[in-house]
Amino acid sequence: MKNEFTLKEKDKIAKAVYKNFQRAQLDLLYMSQHYNYYPEIDLFKIKEPASSKQSDAQLLNQLERKQRLEEYVHIMNQVHSHLSKESYFFIENEYLNFYDRDWWMHYYSRSTYYRVKHNVLNELIDTISRFWSDKDIIGLLR
């Protein structure tokens, strides 16, 4: 793994990871509320429509997408379970529940904030590298 990431690159990776994580959670919520993955039987239909193959392909694509999203959320939950409590607290305030830009001022001095941020992002990237390849992680920098 490339350990020469700058703080800016580490921050960009973390922002991309958590943006995708939150998007995956929202997409899963939307899919669970708006899509029915069970076959429907309509007793009043006399013949099948011609677009049956198209709807089957669309359903298959939705199921594959749902599976990928669930896998991503599961991996991120595993990453969170491997992080220390302090690191997760930092990540939660910095990336997940981003309400106040200056949340850290109540807890750290400026120098301590950046030192902790370096340590947390190193721990996050090390933990993520257990689940994803180096190529996938570097791809988040784009």
What digits encode the pLDDT tens for the residues 90-108? 999 999 987 888 899 999 9
Please return the burial class of 14, using the count of CB atoms within 10 Å of its CB with bins 0-12, 13-18 and 19+. buried
**Residue 121, number of CB atoms within 10 A of its CB:** 21
User: Residues 125, 1: contact at Cβ < 8 Å?
Assistant: yes
Residue by residue, pLDDT tens for the chain (142 residues) are 556 789 999 999 999 999 999 999 999 888 888 766 555 566 666 555 555 666 777 778 888 888 999 999 999 999 999 999 999 999 999 999 878 888 999 999 999 999 999 999 999 999 999 998 888 888 888 7
* Backbone φ, ψ for residue 84 (5° rounding): -70, 160
User: Residues 125, 87: contact at Cβ < 8 Å?
Assistant: no
pLDDT of residue 110: 94
Tokens representing residue 11 in the block: 């921050």
pLDDT of residue 37: 58
Query: Number of helices (H) and strands (E), helices first, in the chain?
Result: 5, 0
